């Protein structure tokens, strides 16, 4: 059973979400629900994984191989 809810979302994020929903030909509410479900189902990184990620990408980012940097830059954050 669906329930109506209210929340504040940044203007630019809402614009992107509306555009994506229109491109996919579905309601904005479905897009937001799918994004939330995807977020809630993902496995949280362990403290060790977070520390390793910090060391890998923050301490010496320019020492990363090109393919790793390209992957991060080309990743579609809105791809569900």
- Report if residue 52 sits inside a domain: yes
Listed ranges 22-26, 35-39, 47-51, 70-74; the one with the highest mean pLDDT: 22-26
- Residue 32 and residue 49 in one domain: no
What's the domain count of the chain?
A: 2
- Residue 37 and residue 58 in one domain: no
Expressed as residue numbers, the domain containing 35 is 10-42
- Residue 57 and residue 35 in one domain: no
N-to-C CA span, the chain: 23
pTM above 0.75, yes or no: no
C-beta neighbour count of 31 within 10 angstroms: 19
- Report if residue 1 sits inside a domain: no
Going by C-beta distance under 8 Å and a sequence separation of 6 or more, which residues neighbour residue 38?
80
Task: Please tell me what DSSP assigns to residue 62.
Answer: G
- Report if residue 5 sits inside a domain: no
- Report if residue 3 sits inside a domain: no
Task: Tell which residue, 46, 42, 19, 44, has the closest CA to residue 31.
Answer: 19
pLDDT at 80 over 60: no
User: Do residues 11 and 73 touch, judged by C-beta distance below 8 A?
Assistant: no
């Amino acid at each position: 059973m669906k329930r109506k809810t209210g929340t504040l979302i940044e203007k630019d994020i809402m614009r992107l979400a509306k555009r994506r929903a229109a491109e996919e030909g579905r309601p904005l509410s479905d897009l937001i629900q799918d994004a939330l479900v995807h977020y809630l189902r993902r496995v949280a990184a362990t403290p060790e994984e977070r520390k390793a990620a910090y060391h890998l990408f923050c301490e010496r980012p320019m020492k990363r191989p090109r393919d790793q940097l390209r992957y991060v830059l080309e990743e579609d954050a809105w791809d569900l």
